[in-house]
């Protein structure tokens, strides 16, 4: 059985969570064509990926 070590997760800050949430909403809107945004149109997956990576960084590193 593997030991867990000292690996701890923290809650992301409200700013990081808010930015990730806004990016996810933008990705949904442009993917389904509800609200076309020129810079994000055609890049829904990439926008969602950036939001998710930002959220993961906020969870893995405390103080972000």
Residue 52 within a domain: yes
Burial 14-42, CB ≥16 within 10 A → b, else e: eebeebbeebbebbebbbeeeeeeeebee
Residue 34 within a domain: yes
Residue 53 within a domain: yes
44/48 Cα distance (integer angstroms): 6
Q: Per residue in 26-57, pLDDT tens?
A: 999 998 888 888 887 888 899 999 999 999 99
Residue 24's domain comprises 20-60
Residue 1 within a domain: no
DSSP 1: -
58/64 Cα distance (integer angstroms): 5
**Domain count for the chain:** 1
Q: What is the pLDDT of residue 7?
A: 74
State pTM to two decimals. 0.79
For residue 3, the tally of other CB atoms under 10 A from its CB is: 5
């Amino acid at each position: 059985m593997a030991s867990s070590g000292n690996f701890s997760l923290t809650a992301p800050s409200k700013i990081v969570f808010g930015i990730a949430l806004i990016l996810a909403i933008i990705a949904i809107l442009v993917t389904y064509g509800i609200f076309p945004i020129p810079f994000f149109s055609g890049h829904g997956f990439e926008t969602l990926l950036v939001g998710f990576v930002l959220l993961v960084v906020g969870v893995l590193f405390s103080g972000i």
